[in-house]
Amino acid sequence: MNQHLQLVRTFRETFSFPQEDFGAKVSLSEIQIILHQALLMEDGGNVFKALQGGDMAEILNSLVDLAYCALDAVAMQGEDVREIPVSWRHDGHVISLAKLLSDKINHCMDGQTEHYSEVYCFCVHLTRSFINADFNKAFQAVHDNYMSRLDESR
């Protein structure tokens, strides 16, 4: 199982959010797809705002949030991340990055694990190649922040 997906599954389990058993491969309902699409679009918008502002820490945080959201849909279905190759190369124009990210988010409207995996893999690729950051470390920090909400709710 993908290490980041395991963290998302742990988060869902800790907060008693429903998810299928790993390996179940169950499709999301239409309403679950719509709700996840709204979340992906919101997180994608945050990536665009961060890109506009040029703050690398904000870009990193927003990319990891988007990846976490994409993995959440995978966890709900009981599937594993599919490693999807990313062919984007920085061409000097941020608009090409924004267009490709928008397209990947839009493909998720079908609720297929492959498309959520594409969003996740693209976020990993951008983190490592575009902003030259440690995705694993950033993902763990975001996960730890989400898990700290358990302490706050007690």
Q: Which helix (H) or strand (E) holds 150?
A: helix 135-153
Read off the pTM.
Answer: 0.93
What amino acid is encoded at 132 in this protein? N
Q: Residue 17: pLDDT band by 50, 70, 90 thresholds? A: very high
Task: Give one DSSP letter per residue of 4-60, joined into a string.
Answer: HHHHHHHHHHHTT---PPTT---PPPHHHHHHHHHHHHHHHHHHHHHHHHT-HHHHH
> What totals of helices (H) and strands (E) does the chain contain, helices first?
6, 0
- pLDDT one-digit tens code per residue, 53-94: 999 999 999 999 999 999 999 999 999 999 988 877 767 678
Q: Are 28 and 111 in contact (CB under 8 A)?
A: yes
